Amino acid sequence: MDRRGFVRMGLAAGAAGMAASTDAAAKAGPGAVLDGGVQLQQELMAANKLTSHSLTSQYLARIRNIDKAGPRINAIIEINPEALKIAREMDRERLLRRLRGPLHGIPVLLKDNIATADRMSTTAGSLALAGVRAARDAHVVARLRAAGAVIIGKTNLSEWANMRSTHSVSGWSARGGLTRNPYSLDRNCSGSSSGSGAAIAAGLATLAVGTETDGSIVSPASICGLVGIKPTLGLLSRSGIIPIAHSQDTAGPMARSVADAAHMLAAMAGADPADAATAGSQAADYAAALDRASLQGKRLGVARNFFGKNPDVDAEMAKALQVLQAQGAQLVDVEVPNVNKYDGTETDVLLYEFKSDLAAYLKEYAPNAPVRNMAELVEFNRKHADKEMPYFGQEYLERAAAKGGLDEQAYLDALANNQRYSRAEGIDQVMREHRLDALVAPTDGPAWLTDFINGDHYNASFSSPAAVAGYPHVTVPAGYVHGLPVGLSFVGGSYTEAKLIGMAYAYEQATRHRRAPQFPASVSPQPR
């Protein structure tokens, strides 16, 4: 990217609308710099008050002090031993005025199901892949490196992206252990991008990449007080990401601000010859969407069938709706139709595709792994049950192993059912009938207590309609319930990321709800 493109992305004159000055940040100390975003860090580096090497070093120290000691968040599963070397190279390029773009020299964490052809493993949290290095970078990693990002490590996750057990505990993997919520250490981060959510909430890097099949970006982002973007299926390549299901899987950014998430999405988006779904990828200038007036005149469908699950969450959402109206949006009460018609068939499709897609990934990216397919993975876990299954089993893996191929009529019928009721007779229908720009609803409830006896206690989530349809979903901090973050979701039709980002940004700037966690051991109920 040339200098003009760099400026256009909003880092020179504040297209992102950020108000912090380099002088104020310098006086506030390193904490303000680490918790600050892309624009602030770039301004400091441009002013020779910060280098990528020093920024990376400070984040690595914070990981040692907060993640591995102190509150022990346990969000990081592995540190990149080449991180400081990469940072030095980005500093050298900056001195030569070879700026690659907004992410030049910016530290980024990757979820540990995203392949990197370096000295780090790619394991999905499983001991079956411990020590296995990928044959090459995932496409999104290659794009991040080309954009100048400094990959500083990988984050823990719900093992196999939470597609292992019907009784799972989100944020736990055999390789990484349990990730804890920075807003209440006894509570869950949700899954499966648990480590990415906790790490960015705790300020362990500027940005992180999560992945989602259904809720695995937006739920931990909401519960950890972050912005998360689940893009349209095909906007980002799936190549090199340990899969669950190609009909729903996608990577996406997790960040402390909408502007940061927008910059990261722009860096990762683009066509990949190895992923046919990206042939029609419609990347946009997401920084240009960062306009405080983006809600003016918008028609928003308030998805009422996703309210009424938690009165405290509803109270925060009522305030959020008032803000949307005050910013010029017109609210229309709606219901997303047919959401119950793909409950069972969604899982069937995921199981079929998981079996097929995992074998393909292992063959291409991990040919030296000790397991080659789902059946061998199931057997590995049985042989290592004391370490792999101390808390819960592998029911989903066993069910996937028993499935047939992707030519079976049962699979084809289930996939067609999912797409019909989530798209044409789901999101598309309600948006067309009410002439909507987006749907809004609470992303999820507040974090639940981690419970290894009973497993997860999910609240009703707004993730499935967009996830099954393959449509974009943006969550943004919307307040707190008993000290625990909750998020507001914006969902739209295919390739409407720019519009959703603009609306989320306008809401974020009008509210500025996010506040840094204080790592309490627990939280107490607060009077209403």
Alpha carbons 197 and 210: distance in angstroms, whole number: 8
366 within a domain of the structure (yes/no): yes
Element of type H or E holding 208: strand 207-212
Q: Which of 121, 173, 193, 216 is catalytic?
A: 216
CB 103 within 8 A of CB 38: yes
* CATH for 176: 3.90.1300.10
Q: Residues 157-191: pLDDT tens digits?
A: 999 999 999 999 999 999 999 999 999 999 999 99
Alpha carbons 484 and 442: distance in angstroms, whole number: 14
Element of type H or E holding 353: helix 343-365
Count up the domains in the chain and report the number. Answer: 1
pLDDT at 22: 52
CB 174 within 8 A of CB 387: yes
Alpha carbons 406 and 356: distance in angstroms, whole number: 8
CB 14 within 8 A of CB 43: no
277 within a domain of the structure (yes/no): yes
The count of other CB atoms within 10 Å of the CB of residue 482 is 14
């990928």: which residue's tokens?
Answer: 134
Of 390, 391, 388, 524, the C-alpha closest to 456 is 391
Alpha carbons 469 and 466: distance in angstroms, whole number: 5
482 within a domain of the structure (yes/no): yes
Q: CB neighbours of 473 closer than 8 A, spacing ≥ 6?
A: 218, 229, 230, 462, 463, 466, 467, 489, 490, 491, 500
Q: Residues 88-132: pLDDT tens digits?
A: 999 999 999 999 999 999 999 999 999 999 999 999 999 999 999
Residue 192 designated active-site: yes
Alpha carbons 309 and 299: distance in angstroms, whole number: 24
53 within a domain of the structure (yes/no): yes
CB 131 within 8 A of CB 371: no
Residue 216 designated active-site: yes
Instruction: Tally the residues of the chain.
Output: 528
485 within a domain of the structure (yes/no): yes
Alpha carbons 313 and 478: distance in angstroms, whole number: 10
């530290």: which residue's tokens?
Answer: 107
pLDDT at 7: 34
The whole domain housing 356 covers 3-511
**Residue 110: helix, strand or coil by DSSP?**
strand
526 within a domain of the structure (yes/no): no
pLDDT at 29: 65
519 within a domain of the structure (yes/no): no
Of 519, 457, 460, 521, the C-alpha closest to 486 is 460
Alpha carbons 6 and 224: distance in angstroms, whole number: 30
The count of other CB atoms within 10 Å of the CB of residue 271 is 18
pLDDT at 440: 99
Element of type H or E holding 332: strand 330-334
Alpha carbons 46 and 89: distance in angstroms, whole number: 16
pTM of structure: 0.95
DSSP 351: H
Q: How far is CA 98 from CA 7, 39, 71, 89, 94, in A?
A: 14, 18, 39, 11, 5
Q: Which of 111, 154, 230, 499 is catalytic?
A: 111
Q: H helices of 132-241, where?
A: 139-146, 194-201, 218-223
Q: CB neighbours of 92 closer than 8 A, spacing ≥ 6?
A: none
Q: What angle do the packed helices 52-62 and 38-46 form, to 10 degrees?
A: 130
Q: Which of 126, 173, 184, 192 is catalytic?
A: 192
Q: CB neighbours of 119 closer than 8 A, spacing ≥ 6?
A: 80, 81, 82, 133
Residue 458 tokens, joined: 């999910």
DSSP annotation string for 140-171: HHHHHHHTT-EEEEEE--SGGGG-S-TT--TT
Of 216, 251, 260, 220, the C-alpha closest to 233 is 251
517 within a domain of the structure (yes/no): no
| pLDDT by residue, tens only, the chain of 528 residues | 333 343 333 433 333 333 334 555 555 566 899 999 999 999 999 999 999 999 999 999 999 999 999 999 999 999 999 999 999 999 999 999 999 999 999 999 999 999 999 999 999 999 999 999 999 999 999 999 999 999 999 999 999 999 999 999 999 999 999 999 999 999 999 999 999 999 999 999 999 999 999 999 999 999 999 999 999 999 999 999 999 999 999 999 999 999 999 999 999 999 999 999 999 999 999 999 999 999 999 999 999 999 999 999 999 999 999 999 999 999 999 999 999 999 999 999 999 999 999 999 999 999 999 999 999 999 999 999 999 999 999 999 999 999 999 999 999 999 999 999 999 999 999 999 999 999 999 999 999 999 999 999 987 899 999 999 999 999 999 999 999 999 999 999 999 999 999 999 999 999 999 999 999 999 999 887
